Amino acid sequence: MSKTEVNPTISKSTGLPRKRFYRARAHSNPLSDSHFPVPISPSHVDYSLHYPQLLPSSGQADTFKKIQFADVGCGFGGLLISLSTLFPETLMIGMELRDKVTEYVKERILSLRVANPGQYQNVSVVRTNSMKYIPNYFEKGTLSKMFFLFPDPHFKEKNHRRRVISPFLLDEYAYVLEVGGIIYTITDVEELGYWMKSCLENHRMFEALTDKELEADAVVKLLSSAT
Q: What is the pLDDT of residues 89-115, one digit of tens each?
A: 999 999 999 999 999 999 999 999 999
Which of these is catalytic: 33, 152, 171, 211?
Answer: 152
Q: How confident is the model at residue 27 (pLDDT cuts 50, 70, 90)?
A: low
Task: Establish if 29 belongs to a structural domain.
Answer: no
Helix/strand/coil percentages in the chain, nearest 5: 40, 15, 45
Task: Establish if 8 belongs to a structural domain.
Answer: no
Number of domains in the chain: 1
The pLDDT value given to residue 119: 97
Nearest to 149 by CA among 127, 130, 174, 171: 130
Let me know if 71 is a catalytic residue: no
At residue 75, does pLDDT exceed 60?
yes
Q: Which residues contact 184 (CB under 8 A, 6 or more apart)?
A: 145, 146, 147, 148, 149, 219, 220, 223
Q: Which domain holds residue 115?
A: 66-226
Task: Establish if 97 belongs to a structural domain.
Answer: yes
**Highest mean predicted confidence (pLDDT) among 61-65, 82-86, 97-101:** 82-86
CATH number for the domain harbouring residue 77: 3.40.50.150
The pLDDT value given to residue 12: 64
Task: Establish if 39 belongs to a structural domain.
Answer: no
Task: Establish if 32 belongs to a structural domain.
Answer: no
